Amino acid sequence: MVEFFASVTPVQPPAAKALYFAFLEGKLVLLPGETLRIPDDDANLATLITARHYLGRMDDVDCWSANLSSLPDAHEALPLRMAMLGLPAEQAAVAGRAAQIIEWDRAHRFCGVCATPTEHKPGERARVCPACAHIVYPRISPAMMALVIKGREILLGRSAHFPPGMYSALAGFVEPGESAEECLKREVREEVGVEVANLRYFGSQSWPFPHSLMLAFVADWAGGEIVPQAGEIEDAQWFALDSLPKLPPNFSIAGRLIRATLASLQA
């Protein structure tokens, strides 16, 4: 099993090999071929790097995020979601981490309190204002995901931005003052007009679209008829186990949540 050990400070001594999760205008820079590859030599990247951050070590390989000024020769840049589909799971996860750190660094070059240019805080993943000492850490937005069950049916919905035919579990961001359970119940009620009970935690995933921490639950239907939220949910339905729509990919926690629940219902 590939293990990733996160670190802000480069591990010493440096590993013999390094991977560069490099971005150009928000797209992941890759080496094309039969399979997509993360660049493992910065010779073509060095003069193009405008910012870089150490991420950690993965199986004796140092991992870096980098922002580039232009595309290196013999490389291509793909939208992150598309790139993640073609990468090994462990690299896709680090790519998501890298994207969030690069975007945080780009978006907080100036203090939000006094507008002074910020500086990196040694030993921490943080930027600090030298004038007023305001500190900014990478933004993480907790979001609740619920797969609702009624008998041997599951409730799936789709938003307009989903790929054609794809349905997924319901999800939404936590509001100030809410617990995870309160958020989940509110989001399901708002998005489809259904009440839920008996929440069971499934798992979590960092999700870089844009900077979410997804907390996934299974819940039982407790009442109400489906009424999709206008402007938010394009369609929502109860699906029988033998007539499912297109589901999210397995690298997403939504895909794993749905497939694991289906397996338990079919057992």
Query: CA distances (Å), 159 to each of 148, 192, 196, 200, 235, in order?
Result: 17, 12, 21, 24, 7
Same domain? For 146 and 240 the reply is yes
Same domain? For 118 and 157 the reply is no
pLDDT-derived band at 40 (thresholds 50, 70, 90) equals confident
Q: In Å, how far from its chain's centre is CA 45?
A: 25
Amino acid identity of residue 22, one-letter, is: A
Last residue of a domain, one of 106, 125, 149: 106
Same domain? For 148 and 232 the reply is yes
159-217 pLDDT, tens per residue? 988 999 999 999 999 999 999 999 999 999 999 999 999 999 999 999 999 899 999 99
Nearest of 228, 223, 222 to residue 170 by alpha carbon:
228
Structural domain span for residue 14: 4-106
Same domain? For 147 and 97 the reply is no
Query: Does residue 232 come out as left (phi exceeding 0), alpha (psi in the -120 to 50 range) or beta?
Result: alpha
Last residue of a domain, one of 83, 106, 129: 106
Torsion of CA 114, 116, 119, 125, to 10 degrees: 30
Same domain? For 118 and 63 the reply is no
Residues with Cβ < 8 Å from 93, sequence gap 6 or more? 4, 206
Q: How many angstroms separate the CA atoms of 222 and 240, rounded?
A: 18
Same domain? For 113 and 168 the reply is no
Q: How many angstroms separate the CA atoms of 66 and 243, rounded?
A: 44
105-137 pLDDT, tens per residue? 999 999 999 999 999 999 999 999 999 999 999
- CATH number for the domain that contains residue 203: 3.90.79.10
